[in-house]
Amino acid sequence: MDYVYGPGRNHLFVPGPVNIPDQVLRAMNRNNEDYRSPAVPALTKTLLEDVKKIFKTTSGTPFLIPTTGTGAWESALTNTLSPGDRIVSFLIGQFSLLWIDQQQRLNFKVDVVESEWGQGANLDVLASKIAEDKAHTIKAICIVHNETATGVTNNLATVRKILDHYQHPALFLVDGVSSICALDFRMDEWGIDVALTGSQKALSLPTGLGIVCASPKALEATKTAKSVRVFFDWNDYLKFYKLGTYWPYTPSIQLLYGLRAALDLIFEEGLDNIIARHTRLGKATRLAVEAWGLKNCTQKEEWYSDTVTAVVIPSYIDSTEIVRQAWKRYNLSLGLGLNKVAGKVFRIGHLGNLNELQLLGCLAGVEMVLKDVGYPVKLGSGVAAASAYLQNSTPLIPSRI
């Protein structure tokens, strides 16, 4: 894809990284400072307490690791499990595939439960495996909450119900990279043992922070876990938590100040209001896709994601050309189809610090691109469907908490 300068701002509608609010940019626009001074530990202490709120946990212990979601995955696995441990993991798209690849390369014994891309995790298979596992050889369940490759959201509450029904002690590990702080997520209520997210998604920060939250059960598992870990070792963090200095190595100072500003914005709007906003934007996008005469990659309504929509296009069009044309002609960034759905879908990200007018602008751009590549879309049809819904659905009033 040749680089071509386009006038105006870039319209970023991939499912992460997302747009960064001005307040966050200003907060990060600062010099380096000594992280051993009293200021940074004081800041870190408030961040650790406030981060727990976006996971909806009071008992979890958070870790702010200078890494990406991939590093957060590794942190979750290596701190709680030992090589050879049996885990059940669900393959439903590119990112669950990558996590499974990591699990296998870390020498865990992985029971892969695969679904057709566009479907959610097969929890009936999970129930069967848990029911048969009388000896409790399964040590963990690993699941991606929101699979961005296909726009599928899994039901985490059902996973917890299955484990509780059979009184199974397996750890419950969740990738919430594109869901936490955008979709309904309840760590304590759903009995999640390790949850993780990345700063570049719904938190609307730059890439660079893997945020992990561990339950008391997960922390207890670290005492017997034999996986090799150094950079991601939670115990190193916990030692410095007790000392009140918090950091076993140099943190990203600018990202910490950005996180402070991002959390302040989240609490000002209200987390439940943010979840409701994403619900509205997700529904509006799906209505636009329907008005265009196209299909959602996600095969059932129960799996629809409110942070990303994967749009299936006719076989005579290569979806890669849609993404290329959008970027080259309109300075509009859309998500490519990945792996099994490469060339078959394009993705519209609608998460983070985003409002209705921004989304409608994106949808108008998509319509122009569809017209450019030869799809017979009626210009304005998707925008009209989405705007009619948004106009008639009532957003919650932001609460200052």
pLDDT at 397: 54
In whole angstroms, how far apart are CA 56 and each of 34, 52, 53? 32, 6, 5
Q: Are residues 259 and 294 in the same domain?
A: no
* pLDDT score of 3: 62
Annotated binding site: 347
Which candidate, 102, 84, 72, places its Cα nearest to that of 227? 84
Q: What is the C-alpha separation between 202 and 354, in angstroms, rounded?
A: 10
- Specify the pairing of strand 86-91 against strand 109-114: parallel
Indicate the number of domains in the chain.
Answer: 2
Both 127 and 213 in one domain: the answer is yes
In a shared domain, residues 239 and 206? yes
Residues 361 and 325 placed together within one structural domain of the fold: yes
Q: Which residues contribute to the annotated binding site for substrate? A: 347
Rounded Cα gap, residues 173 and 292, in angstroms: 38
* Domain end residue (candidates: 267, 301, 316): 267
Q: What is the pLDDT of residue 401?
A: 40
Instruction: Walk along the chain (401 residues) and give the pLDDT tens digit of each residue.
Output: 566 666 788 999 999 999 999 999 999 999 999 999 999 999 999 999 999 999 999 999 999 999 999 999 999 999 999 999 999 999 999 999 999 999 999 999 999 999 999 999 999 999 999 999 999 999 999 999 999 999 999 999 999 999 999 999 999 999 999 999 999 999 999 999 999 999 999 999 999 999 999 999 999 999 999 999 999 999 999 999 999 999 999 999 999 999 999 999 999 999 999 999 999 999 999 999 999 999 999 999 999 999 999 999 999 999 999 999 999 999 999 999 999 999 999 999 999 999 999 999 999 999 999 999 999 999 999 999 999 999 988 765 554 44
In a domain, 3, yes or no: no
Please check whether residue 377 lies inside any domain of the structure. Answer: yes
The pLDDT of residue 2 is: 63
**CATH code at position 318:** 3.90.1150.10
Domain membership of residue 260 as a residue range = 22-267
Out of 244, 267, 290, a domain closes at 267
Asked whether residue 177 is assigned to any structural domain, the reply reads: yes
Does some domain include residue 317? yes
Examine the fold and report which residue of 234, 267, 300 is the final residue of a domain before the chain moves on.
267
Angle (CA) 295-280-161 rounded to 5° is: 85
Please name which of 297, 262, 289 lies closest in space to residue 362, comparing C-alpha atoms. Answer: 289
Residues 189 and 304 in one domain: no
Q: How far apart are the C-alpha atoms of 295 and 24, rounded to whole Å?
A: 36
Same structural domain, 179 and 63: yes
**Same structural domain, 255 and 287:** no
219 within some domain: yes
Q: What CATH code is carried by the domain that includes residue 164?
A: 3.40.640.10
**How many CA atoms lie less than 13 Å away from 14 in the CB half-sphere?**
18
pTM score, two decimals? 0.96
What's residue 7's pLDDT? Answer: 79
Q: Is residue 335 part of a domain?
A: yes
Do 126 and 187 share a domain, yes or no?
Answer: yes
CA 67 to chain centre: 15
Whether 61 and 113 map to the same domain: the answer is yes
Same-domain status, 212 and 301? no
Residue 366 lies in a domain: yes
- Mark whether 126 and 46 lie in a shared domain: yes
Domain shared by 138 and 240, yes or no = yes
**pLDDT of res. 400:** 45
On whether residue 33 sits in a domain, the answer given is yes
